[in-house]
């Protein structure tokens, strides 16, 4: 099984690439979905968040008010460190559990297949060390800000604060096996994904054949 770590900063359009990879036959582990699951009502992580940030971060149903939480952590670097300390170990444990599950299933199937770990913080939390390839989705800054304004209703200033809170895109690209530029039309992005997919399969077939 080939394991791809797919990452990109906020507004990069990483989900477009993930959906295309899935359509090509890859199985997906969505770290954002796991991040939502580990803070469901009644979970230890949500209890820890409420203890550290107060009951005001909970909504009327007892779940995490994500907008309230975002407004806190993007305004205070110390707050995001605390939140990450609560959630990241739990997310990583679940990602590893899912990887093991997929690998066990792959051994009983006809082909080894491709598994994608779709994780915005792939490099920051060290998951890049357990994958075969790192794919980074990059985007032009102006396009990124426009997407965030449209998607999340952010002002340019708010968008820039969220971008600044993340690992610089240039640093992520330094860790990349392959880079997908998602600044233009979706059709162009799809072409890049398909080309990278075919190159990856060819290269790994050569590696496996030489063993």
Q: Give the domain CATH number at 18.
A: 3.40.50.300
Predicted pLDDT at 111: 54
Domain of residue 92, residue span? 2-209
Predicted pLDDT at 108: 75
- pLDDT of 209 over the 50 cut: no
Predicted pLDDT at 75: 85
Q: List the 2-8 sheet strands across, edge first.
A: 27-30, 114-118, 2-8, 133-138, 178-181
- pLDDT of 48 over the 90 cut: yes
Task: Kindly give the residue spans of alpha helices, DSSP state H, lying in the chain.
Answer: 14-23, 31-37, 44-53, 66-73, 77-107, 141-152, 156-164, 169-174, 186-209
Mean pLDDT of the residues in the chain: 92
Predicted pLDDT at 106: 79
**Domain total in the chain:** 1
Whole-structure pTM over 0.75, yes or no?
Answer: yes
Predicted pLDDT at 122: 96
19-46 pLDDT per residue, tens: 999 999 999 999 999 999 999 999 999 9
Question: In percent, how much of the chain has pLDDT > 70?
Answer: 95
Span 177-202, mean pLDDT?
A: 97
66-97 pLDDT per residue, tens: 999 998 998 888 999 999 999 999 999 999 99
144-182 pLDDT per residue, tens: 999 999 888 889 898 998 898 889 999 999 999 999 999
- pLDDT of 211 over the 50 cut: no
């Amino acid at each position: 099984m080939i394991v791809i770590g797919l990452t990109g900063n906020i507004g990069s359009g990483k989900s477009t690439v993930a959906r295309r990879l899935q359509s090509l036959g890859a199985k997906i582990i969505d770290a954002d979905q796991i991040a939502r699951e580990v803070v469901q009502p009644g979970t230890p992580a949500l209890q820890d968040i409420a203890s550290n940030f107060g009951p005001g971060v909970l909504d009327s149903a007892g779940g995490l008010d994500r907008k309230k939480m975002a407004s806190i952590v993007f305004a205070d670097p110390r707050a995001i460190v605390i939140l990450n300390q609560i959630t990241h170990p739990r997310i990583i444990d679940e990602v590893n559990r899912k990887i093991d599950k997929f690998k066990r299933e792959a051994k009983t199937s006809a082909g080894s297949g491709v598994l994608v770990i779709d994780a915005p913080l792939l490099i920051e939390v060290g998951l890049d060390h357990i994958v075969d390839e790192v794919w980074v989705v990059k985007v032009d800054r102006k396009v990124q800000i426009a997407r965030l304004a449209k998607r999340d209703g952010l002002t340019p200033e708010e968008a820039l604060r969220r971008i600044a809170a993340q690992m610089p895109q240039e640093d992520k690209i330094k860790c990349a096996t392959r880079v997908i530029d998602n600044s233009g039309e979706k059709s162009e992005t799809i072409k890049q994904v398909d080309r990278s997919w075919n190159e990856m399969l060819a290269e790994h077939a050569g590696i496996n054949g030489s063993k």
